[in-house]
Amino acid sequence: MLSERELERYDRQIMIFGREGQEKLKGAKVAVVGVGGLGSPVAYYLAAAGIGTLLLIDEQEPELSNLNRQILHWEEDLEKNPKPLSAKWKLERFNSDIRIEAFVGHLDESNVDEVLGGVDIIVDCLDNFETRFLLDDYSQRKRVPIVHGAVEGTFGQVTTVVPGITKSLREIFPNVRGKKEKFPILGATAGVVGSIQAMEVVKLLTGIGEPLLNKLLIVDLAFNTFDVVELR
């Protein structure tokens, strides 16, 4: 049940998907994997929307060069507070009606089942495909959807993987090379792409609109292009 305070807090979005939709958000547990450029806006907007439980996963501490885009981390957190804890501190003060869980560490085959157990949706805010494919394998095995996002420069892509309905990440991106060099990125790019990922989560949970199922959205903000490619 939603409290009076929650009904007031979420009033403007209850106008979109009703109390029933808001209850679904409250009842959900969503994992944000990678609490960086994408993870910051994703976690921020999902906390704002009233997702009942957010699980934040990352192993790093913020560095000065992260702050052009990773807006949940502040100067006082630099090289001190691991990203999930830095973000948890702020989000708990932003919305005390939701629960924030943090996992500080590296996801691998030995711990992925335990860490992601009970999660309804995984939001992929990672910076490498190696860990993405770990999430993908978990997603296929446990039938948990993934909202995939990635950015570089002024460009980004989003798609939503629902096992049994859509292609998997491995099928969509069969040939990605294992590079993890320093890439250019602007905060606003991550803000746009992360906001679209947050929207995907809300659409999946409430049933409004059409998630990017078997569709890859590719955005280039330098040239104002939004294209949707059919993946079927």
Which positions from 105 to 144 touch other proteins by CB under 8 A, shown as an x/- string? -------------------xxxxxx--x------------
Q: How far is the CB of 113 from other proteins (least distance, A)?
A: 22
Q: Which of residues 49-108 bind other proteins (CB under 8 A)?
A: none
Alpha helices in the chain (DSSP H): 4-9, 11-26, 39-49, 83-94, 112-116, 129-142, 169-172, 187-206
Which positions from 8 to 37 touch other proteins by CB under 8 A, shown as an x/- string? --------------------------x-xx
179 binding other proteins? (CB under 8 A): yes
173 binding other proteins? (CB under 8 A): yes
198 binding other proteins? (CB under 8 A): no
Interface residue with other proteins among 12, 93, 143, 232 (CB under 8 A) is 232
How open is the CA angle 117-165-201, to the nearest 5 degrees? 55
- Which CB, 125 or 204, lies closer to other proteins? 125
* Alpha-carbon gap, residue 211 to 162, rounded angstroms: 10
* Alpha-carbon gap, residue 58 to 35, rounded angstroms: 6
196 binding other proteins? (CB under 8 A): no
216 binding other proteins? (CB under 8 A): yes
- Which CB, 11 or 152, lies closer to other proteins? 152
What secondary structure does DSSP assign to 192-222, as a single string? HHHHHHHHHHHHHHH--S---BTEEEEEETT
Contact criterion met (CB below 8 Å) for 141 and 49? no
- Which CB, 92 or 227, lies closer to other proteins? 227
Site size toward other proteins, by CB under 8 A: 41
145 binding other proteins? (CB under 8 A): no
From the list 16-24, 79-87, 94-102, 167-175, the region that binds other proteins by CB under 8 A is 167-175
In angstroms, the Cα distances linking 215 to 24, 159, 205 are 24, 6, 18
Contact criterion met (CB below 8 Å) for 10 and 51? no
For the beta carbon of residue 20, count every other beta carbon within 10 angstroms.
10
SS3 127: coil
- Which CB, 143 or 177, lies closer to other proteins? 177
- Cα dihedral 37, 41, 46, 47, rounded to 10, equals 100
Taking the alpha carbons at both ends of the chain, their separation in whole angstroms is: 39
Chain residues in the site for other proteins (CB under 8 A): 34, 36-39, 124-129, 132, 149-153, 155-157, 172-173, 175-177, 179-180, 183, 185, 190, 216, 218, 220, 223, 225, 227-232
